Amino acid sequence: MTLGAVREIAAAAVIVLAIAGCSEGTGAFEQTEAAAEVIAEYDYTIPVGAGLALDAGTPLEILPDNFNARVGQTIQITNNDDRGHLVGPWFVGAGETTRQTFKTPGEFIGQCTVHPSGQIIVTVSA
């Protein structure tokens, strides 16, 4: 399978999970790209070799399995690994950084490839 095909599958999975996982409908967990100058209240880094560690059966706990934030706060996830990772509503490609500012309250339960539980629960409160 090509890298492009893997990315397409992952992107489709994120969309399906986002639609299915929102407990209060698709608008309950809205996020928008944060401006570059916004300081992230939550900053996580996926290290180089994370994918290889996962392949070897090493459990990674890079983010918490339950993540609580407030409307207006920003999360930043930097992926220094050579493969993309799914972190709840975000697919963070290899060498990419995702920054999101939470706009509305809600809850999302989704897959997380960098946590031993395999999932993450993101709760955003007003």
CATH code where residue 111 lies: 2.60.40
pLDDT given at position 11: 45
Structurally, the chain folds into a number of domains equal to 1
pLDDT given at position 36: 58
pLDDT given at position 2: 52
Below-70 pLDDT ranges, the chain:
1-38
How far is Cα 37 from Cα 49, in angstroms, rounded to an integer? 29
Side chain identity, residue 123: T
pLDDT given at position 13: 44
Its domain, for residue 110, covers 3-125
The pTM assigned to this predicted structure is: 0.71
In 1-126, where do the E strands start and end?
31-33, 42-46, 66-70, 74-79, 85-87, 90-92, 97-102, 106-111, 119-125
Return the structure tokens found at 23: 């407990």
pLDDT given at position 39: 84
Are 92 and 50 contacting, i.e. CB atoms less than 8 angstroms apart? Answer: no
